[in-house]
């Protein structure tokens, strides 16, 4: 796939905005002010670059604009003005400071929605308008989330630092959760046609790649990165020309990016060598079982079942049990899987995939009427247009 | 930065405390006392409150002040004490709060700069 000018613009902004934000927070000591300056510069870049071309040194361009905007906006705040006036480019051959930025944006004292919006803006260089479009929310809502999160950072004294070793595990899982949510949001919203100027799945991949580079010895970071890449490697086969979901058994596997699949498999193996298994590594391993199967019939279901059992032990969840039941269908038959689903009936009654899965199992067990009933239950619960479409096609339309 | 740690007791905690024998309760109080000794350089002051039955609440937004018996919110979670701490940032405050050996809920709130 060749990069479009739009992709290229997103990539350059992504590569430089967070770096600049990190450097400016470090230099000014004020998170909110530095982040506003970078946001101004990003908005200026999105106005100028598409027409004038991307400058040779985008980082220097962004810095110059950010600094100038900062000086304009801060006329009354002598404290920052004097600091800013002293700033020159290149600031210094500073090490990549984005890890501190990421940990601050994903601080557990911030609400999840604030963590997500702030990470996208400060680390990935999205504008408020782009975030709003990606989440189908009003711009004012995203603006408020950003404002509140930044106010909390300053008022509550959330520091700009990398957590101490004893805090790292829990703080890192917070960061990984944000990236994972972003990826899911982007991945589920993805249809054949790309309508947004920023794809959240790409931003999630960018964040996971960055985090892996900055923390190369963290197996769960490797696991999440592998998981994201394994999904992305197969995006091209997920939709037909009309944007309809093609389910895994029917996908054209020659459309998958097998190099990416192989590399992700290597990443999972390297992560496993650390002997610190975790939910992301296990999920990646499960997806790898699918991605590495030459044909649907070759899927290693016993292995997938083992991995789901391990995942459940680490992180009990009804949704994971539902997925495990699907594997059980292929190792022990649809009856065994249906019996497992029976036990989830109360907890997952409001979840469309519970009913959709049940429908498939019932169909496999030769109970078409019951299957149709289950599909009908699933339909009003689904939110994604492509999924709704898929369910509709299974139902005789009335 | 200065923060207040608000110590909040739950019904369960109060019940557990009441169910302890004297020696156990002594040990529990001892752990709290030890915490204050260990963190004396960060805790600038602290108070333990009398039980909520002893509280009296005034409403001043009416005209004539209305005086009622009890705390301002009737709830299952009751503020039982405060500690004022002086630490570098929220992470340091959270670290301190995490080691608190008393009641099961702690609210950490920054003190407004004066």
Whether residue B93 lies within 8 A of chain A, CB to CB, comes out as: yes
Predicted confidence at residue A239, as pLDDT, reads 85
Cα of B6 to nearest chain A Cα, Å: 15
Cα of B5 to nearest chain A Cα, Å: 13
Cβ count near A72 (within 10 Å): 10
Task: Report d(CA A354, CA A337) in Å as an integer.
Answer: 12
Residue of A151, A153, A157, A165 best to disrupt the B interface, most CBs of B under 10 A: A157
Whether residue B111 lies within 8 A of chain A, CB to CB, comes out as: no
Tokens at A312, concatenated: 């459940």
Task: Report d(CA B88, CA B95) in Å as an integer.
Answer: 11
Task: Report d(CA A174, CA A25) in Å as an integer.
Answer: 21
Beta-ladder partners of B9:
B78
Q: What are phi and psi of A86, to 5 degrees?
A: -85, -10
Task: Report d(CA A289, CA A233) in Å as an integer.
Answer: 14
Cβ count near B46 (within 10 Å): 15
Cα of B100 to nearest chain A Cα, Å: 16
Predicted confidence at residue A79, as pLDDT, reads 66
Predicted confidence at residue A26, as pLDDT, reads 85
Q: What percent of chain B has pLDDT over 70?
A: 100
Q: Give the chain A residue whose CA is nearest to the CA of B89.
A: A157
Predicted confidence at residue A242, as pLDDT, reads 80
Tokens at A190, concatenated: 């993805």
Q: What is the DSSP string of A110-171?
A: S-HHHHHHHIIIIIT---HHHHHHHHT--HHHHHHHHHHHHHHHHHHT--SSPPPHHHHHHH
Q: Which of A123, A122, A127 is nearest to A43 (CA)?
A: A127
Domain boundaries, chain B: 2-110
Q: What would the pLDDT profile of A300-354 be if each residue is shown by its tens digit?
A: 999 999 999 999 999 999 999 999 999 999 999 999 999 999 999 999 999 988 9
Chain A residues with CB inside 8 Å of B90's CB? 107, 109, 156-159
Chain B residues with CB inside 8 Å of A158's CB? 89-91
Tell me whether residues A167 and B95 touch, CB distance under 8 A: yes
Cα of A106 to nearest chain B Cα, Å: 13
Whether residue A151 lies within 8 A of chain B, CB to CB, comes out as: no
Whether residue A341 lies within 8 A of chain B, CB to CB, comes out as: no
H or E element at residue A212: helix A200-214
Tell me whether residues B90 and A156 touch, CB distance under 8 A: yes
Tell me whether residues B90 and A109 touch, CB distance under 8 A: yes
> Looking at the predicted structure, is the pLDDT value of residue B22 above 90?
yes
Task: Report d(CA A244, CA A255) in Å as an integer.
Answer: 16
Chain B residues with CB inside 8 Å of A167's CB? 91, 95
Q: Give the chain B residue whose CA is nearest to the CA of A161.
A: B91
Please state which architecture CATH assigns to domain B2-110: 2-Layer Sandwich (3.30)
To the nearest 10°, report the CA torsion of A355, A358, A362, A368.
10
Whether omega before A90 lies within 30 degrees of 0, making that bond cis, reads: yes
Predicted confidence at residue B33, as pLDDT, reads 95
In this prediction the ipTM stands at 0.88
Chain A residues with CB inside 8 Å of B1's CB? 157
Cα of B1 to nearest chain A Cα, Å: 7
Task: Report d(CA B103, CA B91) in Å as an integer.
Answer: 20
- Write the residue in B91, B94, B95 that is nearest to A161 by C-beta: B91
Whether residue A157 lies within 8 A of chain B, CB to CB, comes out as: yes
Predicted confidence at residue A88, as pLDDT, reads 66
Whether residue A167 lies within 8 A of chain B, CB to CB, comes out as: yes
Predicted confidence at residue A133, as pLDDT, reads 87
Parts of chain A with a pLDDT under 50: 1, 93, 192-193, 397-398
Tell me whether residues A163 and B91 touch, CB distance under 8 A: yes
In this structure, are residues B36 and B103 in contact, taking their beta carbons and an 8 Å threshold? no
In this structure, are residues A194 and A243 in contact, taking their beta carbons and an 8 Å threshold? no
Chain B residues with CB inside 8 Å of A161's CB? 89, 91
Count chain A–chain B contacts defined by CB atoms under 8 A.
24
Task: Report d(CA B103, CA B76) in Å as an integer.
Answer: 13
Whether residue A163 lies within 8 A of chain B, CB to CB, comes out as: yes
Chain A residues with CB inside 8 Å of B95's CB? 167
Q: What would the pLDDT profile of B56-95 be if each residue is shown by its tens digit?
A: 999 999 889 999 998 888 778 889 999 999 999 999 999 9
Cβ count near A213 (within 10 Å): 13
Q: What would the pLDDT profile of A340-366 be if each residue is shown by its tens digit?
A: 999 999 999 999 889 999 999 999 999
Chain A residues with CB inside 8 Å of B89's CB? 157-159, 161
Instruction: Domains for chain A: give ranges and CATH numbers.
Output: 1-155+168-191+198-215 (no CATH), 217-299 (no CATH), 322-398 (1.25.40)
Task: Report d(CA A226, CA A223) in Å as an integer.
Answer: 5
H or E element at residue B83: strand B78-86
Q: What are phi and psi of A159, to 5 degrees?
A: -80, 160
Tell me whether residues A157 and B95 touch, CB distance under 8 A: no
Tell me whether residues B110 and A159 touch, CB distance under 8 A: no
Tell me whether residues B1 and A157 touch, CB distance under 8 A: yes
Q: Stretch B8-20: mean pLDDT, rounded?
A: 91
Cα of A111 to nearest chain B Cα, Å: 15
Whether residue A156 lies within 8 A of chain B, CB to CB, comes out as: yes
Tell me whether residues B89 and A109 touch, CB distance under 8 A: no
Predicted confidence at residue A398, as pLDDT, reads 31
Average pLDDT of chain A, as a whole number: 89
Tell me whether residues A167 and B88 touch, CB distance under 8 A: no
Tell me whether residues A158 and B93 touch, CB distance under 8 A: no
């Amino acid at each position: 796939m060749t990069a479009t000018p739009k992709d290229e613009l997103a990539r350059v902004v992504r590569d430089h905005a967070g770096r600049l934000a990190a450097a400016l927070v470090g230099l000014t000591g004020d998170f909110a002010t530095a982040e506003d300056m970078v946001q101004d510069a990003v908005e200026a870049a999105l106005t100028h670059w598409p027409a004038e071309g991307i400058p040779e040194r985008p980082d220097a361009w962004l810095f110059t604009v950010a600094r100038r905007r900062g000086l304009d906006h801060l006329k009354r705040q002598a404290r920052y003005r004097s600091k800013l006036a002293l700033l020159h480019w290149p600031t210094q051959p500073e090490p990549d400071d984005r890890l501190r930025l990421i940990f601050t944006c994903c601080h557990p004292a911030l609400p999840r929605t604030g963590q997500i919006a702030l990470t996208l803006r400060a680390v990935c260089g999205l504008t408020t308008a782009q975030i709003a479009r990606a989440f189908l929310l009003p711009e004012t809502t995203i603006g408020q989330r950003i404002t509140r999160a930044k106010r909390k950072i300053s008022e509550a004294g959330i520091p700009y630092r990398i957590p101490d070793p004893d805090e790292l595990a829990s703080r890192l899982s917070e960061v990984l959760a944000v990236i994972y949510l972003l990826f899911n949001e982007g991945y589920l919203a993805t249809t054949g046609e790309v309508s947004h100027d920023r794809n959240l799945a790409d931003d999630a991949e960018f964040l996971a790649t960055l985090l892996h580079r900055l923390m190369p010895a963290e197996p769960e970071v490797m696991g999440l990165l592998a998981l994201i890449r394994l999904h992305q490697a197969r995006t091209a086969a997920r939709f037909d020309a009309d944007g309809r979901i093609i389910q895994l058994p029917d996908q054209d596997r020659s459309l998958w990016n097998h190099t990416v699949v192989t590399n992700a498999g290597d990443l999972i193996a390297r992560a496993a060598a650390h002997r610190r298994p975790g939910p992301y590594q296990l999920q990646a391993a499960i997806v790898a079982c699918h991605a590495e199967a030459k044909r649907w019939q070759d899927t290693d279901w016993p292995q997938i079942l083992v991995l789901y059992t391990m995942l459940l032990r680490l992180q009990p969840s009804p949704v994971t049990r539902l997925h495990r039941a699907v594997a059980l269908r292929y190792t022990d038959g649809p009856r065994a899987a249906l019996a497992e689903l029976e036990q989830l009936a109360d907890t997952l009654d409001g979840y469309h995939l519970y009913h959709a899965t049940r429908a498939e199992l019932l169909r496999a067990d030769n109970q078409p009427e019951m299957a149709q009933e289950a599909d009908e239950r699933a339909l009003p619960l689904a939110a994604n247009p492509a999924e709704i479409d898929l369910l509709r096609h299974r139902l005789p339309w009335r | 930065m200065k923060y207040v740690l608000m110590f909040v007791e739950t019904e369960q905690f109060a019940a557990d405390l009441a169910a302890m024998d004297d020696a156990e309760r002594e040990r529990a109080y001892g752990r709290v006392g030890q915490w204050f000794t260990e963190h004396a350089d960060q805790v600038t002051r602290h108070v333990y409150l009398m039980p909520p039955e002893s509280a009296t609440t005034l409403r001043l937004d009416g005209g004539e002040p209305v005086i009622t018996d009890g705390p301002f919110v009737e709830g299952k979670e009751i503020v039982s004490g405060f500690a004022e701490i002086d630490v570098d940032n929220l992470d340091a405050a959270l670290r301190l709060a995490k080691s608190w050996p008393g009641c099961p809920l702690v609210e950490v709130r920054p003190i407004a700069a004066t």
